[in-house]
Chains A and B, each alone.
Chain A
């Protein structure tokens, strides 16, 4: 079993839709939860960062963490064609040095 599981998609939605992206993880020691956006042939760009259960909102983006279920989500409201990209979840634990594991990424297409 992979430490972080993420559905690779692709996920196709119409412009304006609410998008839900999800990851599950297996190790309850993980402490920090991140979402990155990666456009084709570019490096990942940090979108959201959180370390506690609950919701964190930033503009059209909301990150949700449920540590009891080992489940994290990213919601995108009023999705735009420019949101079309691969979304990577990343999870870290501080073991003296940080260990960060990335999901495989979900490809999202927002149709105009």
Chain B
């Protein structure tokens, strides 16, 4: 059964610092990997989607990489800002989910960027 792990569970950094969030998954048979942002009490906002055939995706100050063979993904945030403070969730779509394409989530990393 696919499992997704995110370490650390919480991270505090000073404003302006570049940072990396980590995500690992146990089964490399995936369709894709998605990174989401969740603000307190809110729904999830999709940040980046990486197809299984891709190595990375970029959007603004965000860059996500995927190493399927090692079961790892990283989310790189450049020049962090207090507005980046949120919980970041990683999720994969296992090939075993078939046409349902249901996501398997990690438990998230809670990021705090200090002014």
A binds B: no
The residues of B with any CB-CB pair to A shorter than 8 Å are none
